[in-house]
Structure 1
Amino acid sequence: MTPTTAAVAGLATDVHLPDGDGPFPAVLVRTPYDRRRHRAELRGWARRGFAALAQDVRGRHASPGEWHPYRNEAADGAATVRWIRRQPWSDGRVVAAGGSYAAHCALVLGTGADPDARADAVVAAVPALGAAETAREPSGPERLLARAAWWAAHGDRPDSDEAALERALAADPALLTHLPLTGLPERLGRDLPSWPGLWRRRGRGRLLADAERAGVPLLAVGGHHDHFTEDTVALWRRWGGPSARLLLGPWGHALGSAPGADADPAHRVNLGDLYARWARRALDGHLAPSRHGAVALGGSPRWLPAGMEGVPRTQDLRLLRGARFTADPARPVRSGDLTVPADGPPDRCLLVTPPLPCPLDVVGPVRVRLRAGADTPSADWAARLVALTPGGRAERLAVGVVRRDRPAGERAGFTVQLGRLSRRLAAGVRLRLEIAGHHFPAHARNPHTGDDPVTAVRLLASRREVDPAGVALRLPVLTTPVAPTDPAKEILR
């Protein structure tokens, strides 16, 4: 059937019905990224017997109103679910689905308190849980590059310009170095009144708290190279519904269409087919009341059961240079550059492991324990783990940044969380650990003045001292053989 466009809850909505008389279960995708992009997806759902709907959220593309990210999604989504259940083609069951911001729209429908407006199952891919979660690391540092790109493309406008920041950086490569960062809209030539307010949002965890009270099945999908990996896993762990499934592949934010260098052909998954099969079983009550899933082991063809983690093992490290270094925000360590300067005053502390004598399967959270200090009362500590192959290639594995406000000159122990790895490291690989004061432009520069990095207009260099004997790199290593699993079986059981 050819899709029709309707005003549902006052918002532009494409509706694609299956052939036949019905009634049908429905799938709802609410998106700020243009509902028309989902027409092939709607056809796929309809072929599998679902009434499929894609809706432009308020203030975006063909939907009227003002666009305020994260503000209206619960109410507008609830009104749309009520409308679906009143239609003659609806059997009353609704699956809320989406990726990134659209996953947020789906999640608020799965965690709502009103059963008449609540979805019956949720598919959440690479979920953007909320404004505060997307803007900052849990430890405080601002995710500058990703948020600047998103706001330049989508913020305070009814349409999108995906390449806006890329063009602006081509015209002015130093665009993100200009201060204050609140002045970015003017330098972009755009009116972005919501940009400063983004950085004032510090309340995290609201959606996760609601997830603990959810009463419907969840399928959470993510990638190990996505910046929302930790949020995806936390959502799966804390989901309070009758069943929760997790699928994590060696992918970026675009999932299977953005595989990492560690992806194997065995990690290819037909996500559309898997979503539909899972949704049918979830609606029919055929999923086991449990928490299951599958996690790809990058650098191998294997899938492992979700929830499995290795035993923390401390790796031997040798100092190369930089036990004392200067973190200068005017010349920060660049997040996209794995080249390490070989001369001049050190801008980071460098340590390296011996070559691995045998392959190592690393599955779980990576941590670095430090004993270090700064001569400024505010300091960011960025730890980056890099794999060095015997052939000389460098590949970033994990990064963590923590902000510490401590008395100047105080040396203390603390931990930097580098996120989650699921990776087979080959024999002969050495691991390089970099400890720096900045990870720019992925993260905003700490100005070391005590001022907010978003509004600061002055920068100071910060002298750092790291105790090499106090650095401990802890990797979660699988120490016993683990039987591989089939991702489809784990998701559908």
Structure 2
Amino acid sequence: MTRTVRVTADGVPLATDVHLPPPGPAEGPYPAVVIRTPYGRRAHRGEARAWAARGFAAIVQDVRGRYGSGGRWRPYAHEAADGAATLRWIRERAWSDGRIVAAGSSYAAYCALVTVIGDPNTPGGAEAPPDAVVAAVPALGTAETARDPSGVERLLGRAGWWAAHGDRADSDPDALDRRLGHDPDLLRHLPVAELPVRLGRTLPSWPGIWGSARADLVVRRAPGARTPLLAIGGTHDPFAADTIALWRAWGGPARLVLGPWGHRLTRDPGPGARPEHRVDLGALTVAWARAVCAGRPPEGRTGAVAVAGTPYWYPATAVTDTPARRIPLTGGPLDGTLLYGADFRADPEHPVRSDDLRADPGRADRALFVTAPLTHDLHLLGNASAELRGTADTPAADWFVRIVAVDPSGRAEPVAVGSARTARPPGTRSTVTVPLGPLARVIPRGTRLRTEIAGHHFPAHARNPHTGQDPVTATRLLPSRRALRADGCALLLPVARPRPDGTRPDLSEEISA
């Protein structure tokens, strides 16, 4: 019951696999689920067959310019129009009952979303949108994936993605790792804009990902949507904050499932994940889609979030409703101490590395605060941030805050990291707020919290040259001296109360009802 066809969008043939339910009592027509992907439609055959076995026609399509589809691959450029053409084609088939669920993960989630809201770069919504949309760990746009909310450039993740998938008809997932094996300093070379030269590949789209500031266009258009949404994310995923923002802004009924997972969700469990967090996301999604297609769309904005380190799931609204508690980095309820670095030197030639959690008192490249061992478990559920009071002697500066949990044996585990970018006259003392994203975990008693404040977080993020030049095109680097007022620095943590009753909600009921 599977065949490959060509769907034409603006004259371009798009390779499309159609998986129909096996013969049985229900002879059709069927509701359809459509997945548009740049990662190869054949990789989704197991998922498509699972949908078909549950009574859906499963449509999996290579996006324009990828694998079996014609045209030129330009990330994020054609997905709204090509998605709309695919929806029209589906509704014209004899096996379609007209009801369509658009689904996808990562880039494919963007494809699904813009079939609902239309092209975020142009006014107006989508024509005849799908009846429901599933967006898992959504990568919401070029600038949104390339930059933190602060505007700081995400270097390693974007270099890896573009080396693997950019400006080519297929994928080479290990491309960047192979090049780093030959040239370990690959990402240190300047300017960042010339990375394709060092990769030995033609990547004409590479400069364009840095050409505009983050605008969160999909989230801005979300309030106009009326289609039911199921948003699925992980608190260890780089796009966790985007997933929550999408769910929160969505104009129609919206459900959120947020677990202690990375970008591959349940296949990528993070620290503190428990057996109770091994959710069958496929069954959950099918139950939700059936409810929507049956004309019983779940109303309101609800869902569930797992708290790592516990077996519990909390109402999703706790992620946005838990107030942040201001905790000074020195003294305060956690008995914090500044170990060193009230004055430190942020030198882009010798940046603080994102892949090194060691704390070396001999370093002069960061400030380091540490708490006494926690006297009780610390439950964190919601959005965290840091508040810094200090100066930089350069007109441009990035500020990174990284929280690390150190257990009694000395093992270090990252808890949160965030960035802020400032452009102020040198020596201006000011307060800088650094978003740290959503947290949903328990820090066990006996743990020390170590907070690092630095000017770089490389290679995860590009180095700020401190000259005021664009970090993507800069070739000259300057050190930046920072001075912190320790008594003016604090963490704003969403400290939550433990569940008093020890009960766990039925996720199927939470999401589908």
Aligned to 2:69: 63
Moved more, 216-225 or 111-120: 111-120
Q: C-alpha displacement at 1:120, in angstroms?
A: 0.6
Give the match's secondary structure for 2:203: coil
Correspondent of 1:12 among 10, 15, 19: 15
Aligned to 1:268: 278
Listed as ranges, the matches of 1:413-452 within 5 Å are 413-452=431-470
Structure 2 unaligned residues grouped into runs of 5+ = 119-123
Aligned to 1:489: 509
1:406 pairs with 2:417: no
* C-alpha distance in structure 2 between counterparts of 1:399 and 1:126, whole Å: 18
Q: C-alpha displacement at 1:116, in angstroms?
A: 5.3
Query: Do the aligned partners of 1:350 and 1:434 also contact (CA within 8 Å) in 2?
Result: yes
Query: Which letter maps to 1:322?
Result: G
1:457 to 1:115, Cα distance in 2 relative to 1, 3 A: closer
Q: Which whole-Å deviations, capped at 9, do the CAs of 1:278-327 have from their partners, x for residues lacking one? A: 10101212233211101010011111110114332233321000101100
* C-alpha distance in structure 1 between counterparts of 2:369 and 2:507, whole Å: 37
What is the TM-score normalised by the length of structure 1? Answer: 0.97
Q: C-alpha displacement at 1:117, in angstroms?
A: 3.4
Q: C-alpha displacement at 1:203, in angstroms?
A: 4.8
* C-alpha distance in structure 1 between counterparts of 2:340 and 2:209, whole Å: 38
Aligned to 2:322: 310
Query: Do the aligned partners of 1:128 and 1:134 also contact (CA within 8 Å) in 2?
Result: yes
Listed as ranges, the matches of 1:21-36 within 5 Å are 21-36=27-42
1:474 pairs with 2:492: yes
Aligned to 2:121: none
* C-alpha distance in structure 2 between counterparts of 1:88 and 1:198, whole Å: 41
Moved more, 194-203 or 245-254: 194-203
Query: Do the aligned partners of 1:360 and 1:426 also contact (CA within 8 Å) in 2?
Result: yes
Give the match's secondary structure for 1:311: coil
Give the match's secondary structure for 1:464: strand
Moved more, 441-450 or 307-316: 307-316
Query: Which letter maps to 1:6?
Result: V
Aligned to 1:250: 260
Query: Do the aligned partners of 2:110 and 2:139 also contact (CA within 8 Å) in 1?
Result: yes
Correspondent of 1:280 among 282, 290, 298: 290
Q: C-alpha displacement at 1:482, in angstroms?
A: 5.3
Listed as ranges, the matches of 1:331-342 within 5 Å are 331-342=350-361
Q: Which whole-Å deviations, capped at 9, do the CAs of 1:338-370 have from their partners, x for residues lacking one? A: 012232x51100001121111111001111111
* C-alpha distance in structure 2 between counterparts of 1:489 and 1:206, whole Å: 32
Aligned to 2:347: 328
Query: Which letter maps to 1:330?
Result: E
* C-alpha distance in structure 1 between counterparts of 2:70 and 2:106, whole Å: 22
Listed as ranges, the matches of 1:60-99 within 5 Å are 60-99=66-105
Query: Do the aligned partners of 1:375 and 1:462 also contact (CA within 8 Å) in 2?
Result: yes
Query: Which letter maps to 2:248?
Result: R
Query: Do the aligned partners of 1:120 and 1:216 also contact (CA within 8 Å) in 2?
Result: yes
Give the match's secondary structure for 2:238: coil
Query: Which letter maps to 1:205?
Result: D
Give the match's secondary structure for 1:276: helix
Query: Which letter maps to 2:322?
Result: G
Q: How many residues align?
A: 490
Query: Which letter maps to 1:191?
Result: T
1:458 to 1:259, Cα distance in 2 relative to 1, 3 A: same
1:482 to 1:92, Cα distance in 2 relative to 1, 3 A: farther
What is the TM-score normalised by the length of structure 2? Answer: 0.94
Query: Do the aligned partners of 1:79 and 1:117 also contact (CA within 8 Å) in 2?
Result: no
Give the match's secondary structure for 1:320: strand
* C-alpha distance in structure 2 between counterparts of 1:39 and 1:288, whole Å: 28
* C-alpha distance in structure 2 between counterparts of 1:48 and 1:337, whole Å: 46
* C-alpha distance in structure 1 between counterparts of 2:99 and 2:36, whole Å: 17
* C-alpha distance in structure 2 between counterparts of 1:159 and 1:422, whole Å: 37
Query: Do the aligned partners of 2:340 and 2:361 also contact (CA within 8 Å) in 1?
Result: no
Aligned to 1:461: 479
Query: Do the aligned partners of 2:235 and 2:439 also contact (CA within 8 Å) in 1?
Result: yes
Query: Do the aligned partners of 1:311 and 1:479 also contact (CA within 8 Å) in 2?
Result: no
Structure 1 unaligned residues grouped into runs of 5+ = none
- Percent identity between matched residues is 58
Query: Do the aligned partners of 2:146 and 2:210 also contact (CA within 8 Å) in 1?
Result: yes
Aligned to 2:196: 185
Moved more, 201-210 or 140-149: 201-210
Moved more, 477-486 or 193-202: 477-486
Aligned to 2:140: 129
Aligned to 2:58: 52
* C-alpha distance in structure 2 between counterparts of 1:262 and 1:273, whole Å: 24
Query: Do the aligned partners of 1:380 and 1:438 also contact (CA within 8 Å) in 2?
Result: yes
1:218 pairs with 2:229: yes
Give the match's secondary structure for 1:477: coil
Query: Which letter maps to 1:85?
Result: R
* C-alpha distance in structure 2 between counterparts of 1:288 and 1:22, whole Å: 25
Query: Do the aligned partners of 2:385 and 2:493 also contact (CA within 8 Å) in 1?
Result: yes
Query: Do the aligned partners of 2:35 and 2:108 also contact (CA within 8 Å) in 1?
Result: yes
Query: Which letter maps to 1:69?
Result: P
Query: Which letter maps to 2:507?
Result: P
Q: Which whole-Å deviations, capped at 9, do the CAs of 1:180-234 have from their partners, x for residues lacking one? A: 0111001000000110111002251211122111111000000000000000000
Listed as ranges, the matches of 1:335-374 within 5 Å are 335-343=354-362, 345-374=363-392
Query: Which letter maps to 1:310?
Result: T
* C-alpha distance in structure 2 between counterparts of 1:253 and 1:276, whole Å: 21
Give the match's secondary structure for 1:491: helix
Query: Which letter maps to 1:7?
Result: R
Give the match's secondary structure for 2:82: helix
1:114 to 1:395, Cα distance in 2 relative to 1, 3 A: closer
* C-alpha distance in structure 1 between counterparts of 2:17 and 2:165, whole Å: 21
- Backbone CA RMSD of aligned residues: 1.2
Query: Do the aligned partners of 2:379 and 2:498 also contact (CA within 8 Å) in 1?
Result: no
Give the match's secondary structure for 1:77: helix
